[in-house]
Amino acid sequence: MTPDRLSVLKEMYDKIAQQRAEQLGIIQDCTESVNDALTGLAITKREAGNVIDADENTRRKLALVKNMLAESEPKSKALADEVDSLTSLQAETKRRRDAECKRLEVCQRKVQDSQAQLESAQKTLSEIEAKRDEIAALIDRHQSISTA
């Protein structure tokens, strides 16, 4: 059977409709990725905030104890020991703070990357839909010519 224009156009339309359906699935996956990334970012922000607060509190306490030690006469052994202890603790809270900040950056990048993928998928869908509309118009035109 020799293909005619209408059957070719309908075949093209069906192919584009399948591409559109696949692209909608991709968009759904991308949307889920964006939502997951945003949830992860929110959790990480909260956790990072707690770690930053702990580091800031340790810094303030260390500064206070250092001032108390500087003002003590004679120099207090207990305050000196507390400065040593807080200095070690502050090094650890600083390390945790830096790690959380890096983790936060990774989460922010995931959000940006997943949003970019979603935007790209939406653009592709728009292009597919434009082709679909173009083929639908050609089908309509061909059918109106055939019936005239």
pLDDT of residue 143: 84
Residue where the block lists tokens 């759904």: 28
Residue where the block lists tokens 């945790």: 96
pLDDT of residue 22: 98
> Which CATH number do you get for residue 85?
1.10.287.2610
Structure token pair of residue 126: 């728009």
Residue 91 has pLDDT above 80, yes or no: yes
- Give the confidence band of 1 by pLDDT, cuts at 50, 70, 90: low
Q: Which three-class secondary structure state does DSSP give residue 128?
A: helix
pLDDT of residue 147: 73
pLDDT of residue 124: 98
Q: Which of 107, 97, 2 is nearest to 53 (CA)?
A: 97
Q: Which three-class secondary structure state does DSSP give residue 24?
A: helix
| Number of structural domains in the chain | 1
Which residues fall within 8 angstroms of residue 90, CB to CB, at 6 or more apart? 55, 58, 59, 62
Residue 112 has pLDDT above 90, yes or no: yes
Number of Cβ within 10 Å of residue 69's Cβ equals: 17
The pTM (predicted TM-score) of the whole model is 0.78
Structure token pair of residue 59: 């810094």
Which residues fall within 8 angstroms of residue 40, CB to CB, at 6 or more apart? 107, 110
- For helices 77-147 and 5-71, give the axis angle rounded to 10 degrees: 170
Residue where the block lists tokens 């959380």: 100
The beta strands (E) that lie in the chain are given as: none
Q: Supply the range of the domain harboring residue 17.
A: 5-147
